[in-house]
Structure 1
Amino acid sequence: MSSLMASQKVMQHYLSALLTDDGATETSLVEDAKTQELNRLLAQASSLTQAPQLEAKPVIAPVTDVQIQSRDIPIAERLSTIAVIPPATVTPPKSAAKAYRQGPFQALFFSVAGLTLALPLKELGGIHQLTEINSLFGKPAWFKGVMLYRQQKISVVDSARWVMPEKYEQNLLESINYQYVIMLGTSNWGLACETLINTVTLQQEDVKWREIDGKRPWMAGLIKKHMCVLVDVDAMINLLNRGQDIHALAGSKNYRSGI
Structure 2
Amino acid sequence: MKTGIRDETLLEQKLALSAYLDALLTDETESLPKADAPVEVLSPAATPEPVTESPQPLRVDGVPDWAQTRFQALLFEVAGLTLAVPLVKLKGVVPNEHGLTEMPGHSSLFLGVTPYQGVQSKVVDTARFVLPKDRVTQLDEDISERSAHLVVIDEGRWSLACTKIGDVIELDAEQVKWRSAAGKRLWLAGTVINQMCALLDIDELTQQLVDGMA
TM superposition score normalised by structure 1: 0.54
1:29-64 Cα deviation digits (max 9, x unpaired) = xxxxxxxxxxxxxxxxxxxxxxxxxxxxxxxxxxxx
Equivalences, count: 153
Cα distance in structure 2, aligned partners of 1:150 and 1:221 = 30
Larger Rg: 1
The 5 Å alignment of 1:83-102 reads 95=57, 97=59, 98-102=64-68
**Aligned twin of 1:210:** 179
Gaps of 5+ in 1: 1-91, 245-259
Cα distance in structure 2, aligned partners of 1:186 and 1:150 = 10
What secondary structure sits across from 2:150 in the alignment? strand
Match of 1:191 among 144, 155, 160: 160
What secondary structure sits across from 2:140 in the alignment? helix
What secondary structure sits across from 1:242 in the alignment? helix
Match of 1:238 among 195, 204, 207: 207
1:190 CA displacement: 0.7
Cα distance in structure 1, aligned partners of 2:105 and 2:209 = 15
The amino acid that maps onto 2:174 is: E
Match of 2:126 among 127, 141, 159: 159
The 5 Å alignment of 1:127-206 reads 127-130=93-96, 131-164=98-131, 166=133, 167-169=135-137, 172-174=140-142, 177=145, 178-206=147-175
RMSD value, Cα = 2.3
What secondary structure sits across from 1:199 in the alignment? strand
1:170 CA displacement: 5.2
The amino acid that maps onto 2:130 is: V
What secondary structure sits across from 2:212 in the alignment? coil
Cα distance in structure 2, aligned partners of 1:171 and 1:101 = 33
The 5 Å alignment of 1:76-87 reads none
Q: Given the superposition, is the C-alpha separation of residues 214 and 187 from structure 1 closer, same or farther in structure 2, using an over 3 Å criterion?
A: farther
1:211 CA displacement: 3.2
What secondary structure sits across from 2:159 in the alignment? strand
Match of 2:69 among 94, 103, 113: 103
Cα distance in structure 2, aligned partners of 1:125 and 1:237 = 13
Q: Given the superposition, is the C-alpha separation of residues 95 and 133 from structure 1 closer, same or farther in structure 2, using an over 3 Å criterion?
A: same
Cα distance in structure 2, aligned partners of 1:210 and 1:170 = 27
The 5 Å alignment of 1:69-80 reads none
The amino acid that maps onto 1:203 is: D
Q: Given the superposition, is the C-alpha separation of residues 186 and 133 from structure 1 closer, same or farther in structure 2, using an over 3 Å criterion?
A: same
**Aligned twin of 1:251:** none
1:209-245 Cα deviation digits (max 9, x unpaired) = 123041101000111111111000000000000007x
1:108-156 Cα deviation digits (max 9, x unpaired) = 0000010000010111011122122111111111100011134310000
What secondary structure sits across from 2:74 in the alignment? strand
Q: Given the superposition, is the C-alpha separation of residues 235 and 129 from structure 1 closer, same or farther in structure 2, using an over 3 Å criterion?
A: same
1:171 CA displacement: 5.3
What secondary structure sits across from 2:113 in the alignment? strand
Cα distance in structure 2, aligned partners of 1:171 and 1:157 = 15
Cα distance in structure 2, aligned partners of 1:140 and 1:239 = 13
Equivalent residues of 1:113, 1:172 under 8 A apart: no
Q: Given the superposition, is the C-alpha separation of residues 122 and 135 from structure 1 closer, same or farther in structure 2, using an over 3 Å criterion?
A: same
**Aligned twin of 1:229:** 198
Is 1:118–2:84 an aligned residue pair?
yes
Relative contact order higher in (CA < 8 Å, ≥ 6 apart): 2
